[in-house]
Amino acid sequence: MKILVIGSGGREHAIAWKLAQSTKITQVYVAPGNGGTSNSNNIKNIPITNIDELANFAEEENINITIVGPEAPLAEGIVDKFQNRDLRIFGPTKSAARLESSKKFAKDFMSRHGIPTAKYSTFSKTEEALSYLRKEGAPIVIKADGLASGKGVVVASTIKEAEDAVIEMLDIKKLDKIIIEECLTGEEASFIVMSDGINIMPLATSQDHKRLKDGDNGPNTGGMGAYSPASIVTPDLHNRIMKEIIIPTIQGMAKDGIPFMGFLYAGVMISPGSDAERSIKTLEFNCRLGDPETQPIMMRMKSDFVEIIDNALHGTLDKTEIIWDRRVALGVVLAADNYPDNPITDDTINGIPNEKEDCVVFHAATKISDGKYKTDGGRILCVTTLGDSVRIAREKAYKTISNIHFNGMQYRSDIGWRSLK
């Protein structure tokens, strides 16, 4: 089989890496890929980003399955275009992808179908938004309505910070709409499933670290590290998340005439207390695998990923089982100098180790220039390890990182801290 993976980040490297392990695979293409995917067995980069050209490539090369990594092509309707040409592709249609591409659509959908989420209001006029802020008080959350690469959320601890965020989004960036919602407290977990439109297959749980600095301080980022499984998600909470959030979402989309096929990611806020006392609320939906959650999840997956995707496309996820490595996987993101604002690029990366059974360095924003790996964006690498506990996996990751270097390299030193606490 030939498979095409759309995207260029660490998530796509991890997806391609896992697919390439299948005995069913003859070639994995990644479009456009990165420095890591250009230098792997059975994986080849394709310098194409245009959707029509990607469809042409899939037709000409007899691609058996296409998997979409990032959100932007989904929002642009890549799945619809491929399906119209009878090309097999795993991901939600443009209409279904509105669960991620429009915060307003997602919040209205959750409200309509009784899916627990934070209290919210939608605004397109600055003065109305500012008036609402002053009435509600801080802390409060301001979200861009559309896609923002994981950085369109401001958790404002003061009214001044909230007002600045509103003015930035509506007056400076000229966004059509913003969402203002109550600030939930607790611990966040990433709950990702696969759906064939009817059946649902939960993936291993994980926990992301969105803030730039240790202790969950600093600005929001696309994610600075993750580990799996998430210790906060007990079996009881797992069942509740499925029952109260995931199943109503897949059934609600089908009821609304927009069946959802693909990866569905629910960011879930879990309140403090015992399992019986905890509330669970949906922070957001993503219509694809998370990054950097995918890297630890793929490290733990022992089943054939190609077979799982193929079953999903045939509508037979109910006949599928995924076997997970019992060990913990933990990934630490190495980011460029001045990330997330205006990352410095084109620095040489030294010390990347060869892949081992319990340690893989997944590339994200990298390229090969003059025979060397160079930085090419914000989040550069994700050092991902397996260990018998969070502590052991973390020790392996940071020992590996101690040998890697590029100018201005920054990373969090506390990935997995909530589990260890």
Asked if residue 149 has pLDDT above 70, the reply is: no
How does residue 421 score in pLDDT terms, banded at 50, 70 and 90? confident
Q: Tens digits of per-residue pLDDT, 70-129?
A: 999 999 999 999 999 999 999 999 999 999 999 999 999 999 999 999 999 999 999 999
Asked if residue 194 has pLDDT above 70, the reply is: yes
Helix (H) or strand (E) segment spanning residue 160: helix 159-167
Asked if residue 151 has pLDDT above 70, the reply is: no
Contact call for residues 400 and 352 (beta carbons, < 8 A): no
Range 163-168 average pLDDT: 94
Question: How many other CB atoms are there within 10 angstroms of residue 167's CB atom?
Answer: 14
Average pLDDT for the chain: 95
- The pTM of the full predicted model, rounded to 2 decimals, is 0.94
Contact call for residues 271 and 282 (beta carbons, < 8 A): no
Assigned token pair, 411? 């990373």
Beta strands 207-208 and 328-335 are unpaired
Asked if residue 150 has pLDDT above 70, the reply is: no
Could you list the beta-strand ranges (E) of 198-273. 200-202, 207-208, 211-213, 217-220, 225-228, 261-270
- The one-letter code for the residue type at 143 is K
Cα 15 to Cα 382: distance, rounded to the nearest angstrom: 13
Range 359-388 average pLDDT: 97
Using the 8-state DSSP alphabet, how is residue 354 labeled? Answer: P
Contact call for residues 338 and 410 (beta carbons, < 8 A): no
Assigned token pair, 77? 């309707």
How does residue 131 score in pLDDT terms, banded at 50, 70 and 90? very high
- Residue 328: HSE in the Cβ half-sphere, 13 Å Cα cutoff: 24
Backbone angles phi, psi at 292, to 5 degrees: -105, 15
Distance of CA 92 to the CA centre of its chain: 15
Cα 322 to Cα 91: distance, rounded to the nearest angstrom: 19
Beta strands 379-387 and 328-335 are antiparallel
Range 240-247 average pLDDT: 98
Going from the C-alpha of 351 to that of each of 372, 406, 415, the distances in angstroms are 11, 9, 21
The residues pairing with 189 across neighbouring beta strands, listed in sequence order, are 268
Q: Tens digits of per-residue pLDDT, 245-258?
A: 999 999 999 999 99
pLDDT at 220: 86
Go through the chain and tell me how many residues it has. Answer: 421
pLDDT at 386: 98
Assigned token pair, 355? 């892949």
Asked if residue 39 has pLDDT above 90, the reply is: no
Cα 168 to Cα 85: distance, rounded to the nearest angstrom: 41
Range 165-191 average pLDDT: 93
pLDDT at 390: 97
pLDDT at 373: 97
Asked if residue 293 has pLDDT above 90, the reply is: yes
Show the domains of the chain with their CATH numbers: 2-93 (3.40.50.20), 123-176 (3.30.1490.20), 187-319 (3.30.470.20), 328-420 (3.90.600.10)
- What letters, b where the CB count within 10 A reaches 16 and e where it falls short, cover 38-68? bebeebebbebeebeebbebbeeeebbbbbb
The 3-state DSSP class for residue 225 equals: strand
pLDDT at 3: 98
Cα 99 to Cα 166: distance, rounded to the nearest angstrom: 22
Asked if residue 336 has pLDDT above 80, the reply is: yes
